[in-house]
């Protein structure tokens, strides 16, 4: 007899618990690398280190047929589509690889495609007209991926299954090990949240289509004023002006020294990527252009 399927509340709590533990693990490794090898080395490898942390964590748990800390905390267990047996080895490997490496691979492929189109490397294989179409449609393609993820999340709120796209691809679901731990009263709240999210997706999509079809972009100024133009490479993301006394956070983002110090007094995380950061971890960059 198959177990009872876990609800959205249990799955979401398990995922949040895993993310909390992974954030703590990443911060510990970040501190070790910075103290032993320096900030410059950490800036070069921190992205790879974070992905490697996730892969090692899920390799020692999911790939070894063990519960993660979040799954153990909420009393859920991964099963296959039939909810009658544990996922086989191939399903678990595909799920872990997609979860850990999928977003980064897609991001790099899109960036590589855009860079190749801009640099003219695709001219050998594509006509100039098609290359221009690719460049023009890159924002739409990125938005479509974001839209797909939001629709997937809204579907999860209604069904309570497949919080991660990697699990939807492999068909891995969650069941309750102890049914009395389930929170059936939360299902209606999640359905309301799914309805709100779908409404927001519909309205934003309609607005984007309307803007694309009927709103003409402003004419480009071929000679921008030097007073109002700031090079994006030298711009601070907080004050939107040219950076003064540049400094770098542990995640590698650049800000004005005063801007980021004031920001971290309110919330000790990077304002761009939400990576944990304290005022003491911000490193000033001397003679940096």
CB atoms within 10 A of CB 223: 6
pLDDT in tens, 179-213: 666 566 778 888 899 999 999 999 988 887 888 77
H or E, element range at 73: helix 69-74
Domain coordinates of the chain in residue numbers?
A: 8-214, 232-284
Report whether 33 contacts 48 (CB < 8 A).
no
Listed as ranges, residues in the chain with pLDDT below 50 are 222, 224-228
Gap between the Cα atoms of 209 and 52, Å rounded = 39
- Quote the pLDDT of residue 179: 65
> Which are the contacts of 284, defined by CB distance < 8 A and separation ≥ 6?
245, 246, 247, 257
pLDDT in tens, 202-252: 998 888 788 877 776 655 554 544 444 556 677 888 888 888 888 888 888
- Quote the pLDDT of residue 17: 93
- Quote the pLDDT of residue 221: 53
pTM for the full model?
A: 0.70
- Quote the pLDDT of residue 203: 92
- Per-residue b or e along 140-154, where b marks 16 or more CB atoms closer than 10 Å to that residue's CB: eeeeeeeeeebeebb
According to CATH, the topology of domain 232-284 is: Herpes Virus-1 (3.30.40)
H or E, element range at 79: strand 76-79
Report whether 70 contacts 14 (CB < 8 A).
yes
- Quote the pLDDT of residue 192: 92
DSSP label of 242: B
H or E, element range at 26: helix 8-37
Q: Where are the alpha helices (DSSP H) in 120-244?
A: 128-159, 165-170, 187-214
Pick from 3, 186, 180: which is nearest to 74 by CA?
A: 180
């Amino acid at each position: 007899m198959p177990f009872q399927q876990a609800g959205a509340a249990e799955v979401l709590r398990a995922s949040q618990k895993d993310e909390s533990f992974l954030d703590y693990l990443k911060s510990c490794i970040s501190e070790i690398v910075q103290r032993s090898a320096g900030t410059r080395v950490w800036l070069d490898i921190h992205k790879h280190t974070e992905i490697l942390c996730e892969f090692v964590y899920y390799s020692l748990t999911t790939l070894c047929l063990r519960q993660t800390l979040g799954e153990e905390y909420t009393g859920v267990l991964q099963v296959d589509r039939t909810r009658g047996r544990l996922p086989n080895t191939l399903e678990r490997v595909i799920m872990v690889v997609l979860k850990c490496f999928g977003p980064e691979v897609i991001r790099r492929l899109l960036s590589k495609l855009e860079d190749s189109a801009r640099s003219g490397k695709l001219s050998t294989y594509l006509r100039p007209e098609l290359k221009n179409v690719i460049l023009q449609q890159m924002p739409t393609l990125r938005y479509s991926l974001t839209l797909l993820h939001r629709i997937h999340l809204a579907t999860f709120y209604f069904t309570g299954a497949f919080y991660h796209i990697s699990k939807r691809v492999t068909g891995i679901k969650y069941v309750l090990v102890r049914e009395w731990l389930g929170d059936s009263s939360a299902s209606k709240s999640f359905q309301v949240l799914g309805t709100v999210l779908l409404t927001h997706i519909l309205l934003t999509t309609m607005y984007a289509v309307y803007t694309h079809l009927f709103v003409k972009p402003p004419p480009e100024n071929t000679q921008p004023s030097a007073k109002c133009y700031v090079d994006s490479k030298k711009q601070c993301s907080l004050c939107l002006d040219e950076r003064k006394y540049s400094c770098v956070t542990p995640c590698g983002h650049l800000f004005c020294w005063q801007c980021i110090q004031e920001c971290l007094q309110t919330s000790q995380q990077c304002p761009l990527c939400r990576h944990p950061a304290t005022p003491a971890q911000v490193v000033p960059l001397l003679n940096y252009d």
